[in-house]
């Protein structure tokens, strides 16, 4: 299913009305049981693009919530599907949604995110602790560099980002038992203990079962199924989504969102 050329041209004009940010946020729909979680690729004051394989058509109404594990509680949204993007090499299928309400004097969706982030009045600095579980050293370096870049670019007041690394599932499990983390980023395909086994062990253990888990891997649809069945919160394909994820973390913290103390 796809939009006509005219729809694509018009939707392109609509998308350029507002500044867009490359934010990866988890999507939960109000009207459907969802086994595999969808996610946003970018958001603006007036709309959002959601990567999804679900069947929608221009004009369909959608009600949903967006969140980010460990940093952003669910925000209710609703709007109308304005355009469709079919799957292509390097791009997931998805839908462009225009929010029901036009941004007013106080702004729209991005301003709402910023306003929510300012609700925390705790003056003390806290750490947002991430564990990156990945056997590829190049990918780990990329993630670390991305976080350093965006934390330098944005003002991250009262929150510091701490990243621990593990090269396989067993190393990760040993670390998880020693200290708590706000977010686990896990590859599926690793030596010694793979990501699926690690996720299952985390979910079966009382002390760790609620820890947010993002899977960033190259398994395609099969990988998405494996991650979802094991208990992951969101599945993202390598490699491009890793950069967007680091930008999302830095952006949310810069907007004032802070992890709960552990």
Residue 65 and residue 110 in one domain: yes
pLDDT digits (tens, 9 = 90+) for 206-221: 999 989 898 888 777 7
> In whole numbers, what is the pLDDT of the chain averaged over residues?
80
Asked if 67 and 183 touch (Cβ cutoff 8 Å), the reply is no
Q: What average pLDDT does range 218-236 have in this prediction?
A: 82
Phi, psi of 257 (to 5 degrees): -75, 135
**Number of structural domains the chain divides into:** 2
Range of the domain at 199: 126-254
Same domain, yes or no, for 133 and 249?
yes
**Average pLDDT in the 186-201 region?**
93
pLDDT tens-digit series, residues 83-110? 999 988 777 789 999 998 766 555 567 7
**Cβ contact 212:184 at 8 Å:** yes
Is 17 within 8 Å of 82 (Cβ atoms)?
no
Least confident of 154-163, 165-174, 177-186: 154-163
* Angstrom distances, CA of residue 92 to CA of 40, 79, 98, 221, 236: 11, 21, 19, 11, 10
Count of residues making up the chain? 262
Burial class (CB in 10 A: 0-12, 13-18, 19+), 260: exposed
**Among 53, 82, 116, where does a domain finish?**
116
What single string gives the DSSP state of each residue in 140-157? HHHHHHHHHHHHHHS--T
Q: Does 121 fall in a domain? A: no
Of 92, 116, 140, which closes a domain? 116
Q: Give the range among 52-61, 106-115, 247-256 with minimum mean pLDDT.
A: 106-115
């Amino acid at each position: 299913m796809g939009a006509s050329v005219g729809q694509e041209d018009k939707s392109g004009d609509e998308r350029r009305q507002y500044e867009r940010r490359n934010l990866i946020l988890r999507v939960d729909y109000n009207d459907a049981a969802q086994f595999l979680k969808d996610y946003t690729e970018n958001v603006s004051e007036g709309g959002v693009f959601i990567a999804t394989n679900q069947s929608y058509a221009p004009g369909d109404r959608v009600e949903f919530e967006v969140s980010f594990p460990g940093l952003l509680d669910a925000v209710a949204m609703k709007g109308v599907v304005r355009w469709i993007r079919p799957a292509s090499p390097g791009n997931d299928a998805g839908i462009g949604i225009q929010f029901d309400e036009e941004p007013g004097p106080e702004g729209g969706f991005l301003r709402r995110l910023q306003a929510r982030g300012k609700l925390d009045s705790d003056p003390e600095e806290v750490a947002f602790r991430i564990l990156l579980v990945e056997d590829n050293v190049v990918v780990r370096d990329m993630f670390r560099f991305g976080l350093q870049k965006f934390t330098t670019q944005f003002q991250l007041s009262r929150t510091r980002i701490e990243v621990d690394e593990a090269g396989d599932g067993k190393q990760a499990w040993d670390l998880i038992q020693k200290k708590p983390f706000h977010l686990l980023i896990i590859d599926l395909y690793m030596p010694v203990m793979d990501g699926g086994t690690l996720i299952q062990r985390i979910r079966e253990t009382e002390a760790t079962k609620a820890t947010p888990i993002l899977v960033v891997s190259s398994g395609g649809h099969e990988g998405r199924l494996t991650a979802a069945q094991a208990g992951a919160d969101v599945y993202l394909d390598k490699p491009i989504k890793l950069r967007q994820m680091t930008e999302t973390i830095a952006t949310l913290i810069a907007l004032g969102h802070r992890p709960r103390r552990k």
